[in-house]
Amino acid sequence: MLAKRIIPCLDVTGGRVVKGINFEGLRDAGSILEQARFYNGELADELVFLDISASVESRKTTLEEVLKVSGEVFMPLTVGGGINSVERAREIFMHGADKVSVNTAVVKEPELISRIAEKYGSQAVVVAIDVKKKEDRHMVHTHSGKIPTPLEAVEWAQMVQELGAGEILLTSMDRDGTQEGYDNDILAKVSTSVHIPVIASGGAGNLEHLYEGFTRGKADAALAASIFHFRQYSIRQAKQYLRDRGIPVRL
């Protein structure tokens, strides 16, 4: 069985790491470089850098910040925010990213997934899917969760897989920042409907939540921010806990 991954996430705006609840009420969570250095010294499997206001502000992710982070970490780095063309993806890769995360632009233009994948490989394309529950359906949102779309999560996940995405980052807007646990219902539905890896995101508040994301949610990786940024737990603690519960991890 493949090892499950633990991935800290740097949500970035205004040159700082931030964390909110349900994509709102952002609070400062430290220096971008300090957090990157910290996670480089931990046992993080990967690092995600998301410029959360780039699409909202119709601008590009700051390449200088990406370059600084890539110079600090020796693990796979995924960068997202405002990536709306193959050329922009190329710039991100040239500044040290291993993968790009795309959301808003590919909802508008799904073929962009295929174009990036054809040039850089499916393994380099992560499609971020931000979902909010409406009655009994989980609907996809863009622009950092501010704009709803008519797309349903499972259908969209299957479509992005067909278009060449190598991985899905599934975030529950309802759970984001609440520390109440992942939405394992939609996580399991998406994970079992595709054959590419799915990263659980939104709601991790303790180590049991990570375990449930892997067992109940069928995720391949667990992304978390608050519990690691504010040093509630270390990644080593998380991995030891998971290993003790029978989850294969790299230690």
All structural domains of the chain with their residue ranges: 5-244
Please name the amino acid found at residue 223: L
Q: Are 100 and 54 in contact (CB under 8 A)?
A: no
List Cα–Cα distances, 203 to 8, 23, 120, 196, 198, in angstroms: 13, 11, 31, 22, 16
Summarize pLDDT for 127-155 with one digit per residue, the tens: 999 999 998 899 999 987 889 999 999 99
The gap from C-alpha 131 to its chain's centroid, in whole angstroms, comes to 13
pTM score above 0.95 = no
Residue 49 has pLDDT above 70, yes or no: yes
Is residue 130 annotated as part of the catalytic site, yes or no?
yes
**DSSP state string for 178-227:** T-S---HHHHHHHHHH-SS-EEEES---SHHHHHHHHHTS--SEEEESHH
Residue 86 has pLDDT above 80, yes or no: yes
Please name the amino acid found at residue 52: I
Summarize pLDDT for 211-249 with one digit per residue, the tens: 999 999 999 999 998 899 889 999 999 999 999 999 999
In the CATH hierarchy, which top-level class contains the domain 5-244? alpha beta
Could you give the count of Cα atoms lying within 13 Å of 206 in the half-sphere of its Cβ? 2
Residue scoring higher pLDDT (98 or 24): 98
Q: State the average pLDDT for the chain.
A: 91
- Of 171, 176, 197, which is closest to residue 186 (Cα–Cα)? 171
Of 51, 98, 130, 220, the active-site residue reads 130
In this prediction, residue 112 has a pLDDT band, given cuts at 50, 70 and 90, of very high
Of 11, 51, 183, 220, the active-site residue reads 11
The SS3 of residue 114 is helix
In whole angstroms, what is the distance from residue 88 CA to residue 148 CA? 25
Is residue 220 annotated as part of the catalytic site, yes or no?
no
- Of 6, 18, 23, 9, which is closest to residue 173 (Cα–Cα)? 23
